[in-house]
Amino acid sequence: MNRKNDLPSMMEALHALSIARNKLVYDFKNKEHEIYIPIFKYENHPELMKLALENYFTSWVSFHFLTWDKNYPNSSGKLFYQAIKELLLKTISSAGEIDQYNPSFISKLIFSKVQLIDCLIKGGERDNEKYNALLLEYEKDKALFEREINRLKGDS
């Protein structure tokens, strides 16, 4: 590795990573709804809360690509993609299988993960709605049954 020749590439990568890191700090400081709403919305459903927060973090990783493409559209970005790969190793269990420089695959992988998490969250919300509907029906049937029992007791 020739550090002198890689310096511009390193500076580009550090700049793109810095922009994304600033977005993360900004989102936390300014109480971004994607971070804070799930904490309260899913406080009784820790699995959905974890998915929602993971979805935010995965979207943040994806933001790195948008930043790179916007600021350095003509650069190869090998060092940048290596840094993103390391970031993915912390977030995607199968990222260890990504051994070659393949930004298109990594970008599609992140996008697919965001879509999958969104589907899981929506499914969890539907399950909660169905559970609440069943609970309502149960309580309604129970009340009607008790009413009928009390009516029959009164007739005897």
Q: What does the pLDDT look like over 134-143, one tens digit per residue?
A: 889 989 999 9
79 in Cβ contact with 102 (< 8 Å): no
Q: What does the pLDDT look like over 43-79, one tens digit per residue?
A: 888 888 888 888 888 888 888 888 888 888 777 777 7
* pTM, two decimal places: 0.56
Reference 11, options 88, 83, 100, 89; nearest CA is 83
Give the chain's domain count.
Answer: 1
User: Does the pLDDT at position 95 exceed 50?
Assistant: no
